[in-house]
Amino acid sequence: MSDVNKVVLAYSGGLDTSVIVRWLQETYGCEVVTFTADIGQGEEVEPARAKAEALGVKEIYIDDLREEFVRDFVFPMFRANALYEGEYRLGTSIARPLIAKRLIEIANETGADAISHGATGKGNDQVRFELGAYALKPGIQVIAPWREWDLNSRESLMAYCEKHNIPVDFSSKKKKSPYSMDANLLHISYEGGVLEDPWAGAEEDMWRWSVSPEAAPDVPTVIELDYERGDIVAIDGERLSPATVLERLNKIGGANGIGRDDLVENRYVGMKSRGCYETPGGTIMLKAHRAIESLTLDREVAHLKDELMPRYAEIIYNGYWWSPERQMLQTAIDQSQAHVNGKVRLKLYKGNVIVEGRQSADSLFDESVATFEEDAGAYNQADAEGFIKLNALRMRIAANKGRKLL
């Protein structure tokens, strides 16, 4: 059917991607290489090996990418304080460029002609995977089965399994969640089911990582985070790797009812989508990072970062992590973090992240200038009169020319 001899598939080991393995073999007559990424989804990934072997796959990649994910993708994004549409912490979006990168690396290692993924034609992930792949290997072929086949329901996928002797005990005998879920070290997302009605509230038993704020402890948890160049390097004085930092914050935050979000967002493909997200560690990180920046960043740098942030977040959400514009913005953001060092103390209580203190050897907070007490001449209040008059000059001129506002 085509000139595709070998294809690398992003393989979860679930129903959809197991069908895709056989469908690629049958439809394209090609060899399939499977790639399963451990990015902290909380499920055992090694069983994917046996499932791939049962489907006749000879080259199987199962990679632990947790440290790379947090170090090279999550942490750089949080240096920007990125929020899409003011709320979404981009948990799914930031994982896709890493998966795309590894797909291309494996394609190069194995001499594959194409890559493939299980993203549907309605979602953002197809865009994110493919934009990344094309940026890293312009001539790569991409096979997106959901845009080609007519297997558009779980029932049709199961029927395909029966017809083609695909073992499905791992997908059919387990109780299936009513939600479409995606998890990694940064978050877990929920879509579909009752959530397709924006008026319907999320069911309490849906949430996996966090207790409800009402059920959280009545005594707050206090933690201290150490920052170096904008990244958390220690919790309560214990130095930790990036992935371990996020794992620890997820547990602490989830136990205190932190990180639940219920959003309606605008997908890049054009539709609105309602989803719920649990991002306990990320919620803590965002609050703490802004706290340490409030001490250490110059005012205009901080304000410029805030102006750039929505654009940076949109770039990631839409799948342009590997674009020159993201790289340009990242360079500026990373440069701004040179003096973002110090410590933040937080109180976590029933869904709230409360900043209790911040300190830094690089602090720009000058108590002798800011004090309401005697400042020994550190600040001459009389200087403010000329400052105000100069800033008012253009408005005074306009008013004198008859441009009245009232």
- Domains, the chain, ordered by start: 6-67+89-176 (3.40.50.620), 182-359 (3.90.1260.10), 368-396 (no CATH)
pLDDT in tens, 86-110: 999 999 999 999 999 999 999 999 9
- pLDDT surpasses 50 at 245: yes
pLDDT in tens, 48-60: 999 999 999 999 9
Q: Is 203 annotated as a binding residue?
A: no
pLDDT in tens, 35-50: 999 999 988 899 999 9
Q: Is 277 annotated as a binding residue?
A: yes
Q: Is 358 annotated as a binding residue?
A: no
Q: In the prediction, which pLDDT does 154 show?
A: 83
- pLDDT surpasses 80 at 174: no
- pLDDT surpasses 60 at 171: no
Q: In the prediction, which pLDDT does 176 show?
A: 64
Q: In the prediction, which pLDDT does 2 show?
A: 65
* 288: exposed, middle or buried (Cβ count in 10 Å: 0-12, 13-18, 19+): buried
Q: Return the active site residues.
A: 16, 96, 125, 180
- pLDDT surpasses 80 at 249: yes
Q: Is 325 annotated as a binding residue?
A: no
- pLDDT surpasses 50 at 132: yes
Q: Report pTM.
A: 0.94
β-pairing, 342-349 with 221-228?
antiparallel
Share of the chain above pLDDT 90, in %: 91
Q: How confident is residue 197, by pLDDT bands cut at 50, 70 and 90?
A: very high
Average pLDDT over residues 70-82: 98
Q: Is 265 annotated as a binding residue?
A: yes
Q: In the prediction, which pLDDT does 172 show?
A: 43
Residues 6+ apart with CB under 8 A from 256: 211, 216, 217, 220, 221, 348, 349, 350, 351
Q: How confident is residue 169, by pLDDT bands cut at 50, 70 and 90?
A: low
Average pLDDT over residues 159-184: 77
Mean pLDDT of the chain: 95
pLDDT in tens, 316-372: 999 999 999 999 999 999 999 999 999 999 999 999 999 999 999 999 999 989 999
Q: Is 236 annotated as a binding residue?
A: no
Q: In the prediction, which pLDDT does 170 show?
A: 47
- Residue with more model confidence, 165 or 10: 10
Q: In the prediction, which pLDDT does 178 show?
A: 84
Q: Is 371 annotated as a binding residue?
A: no
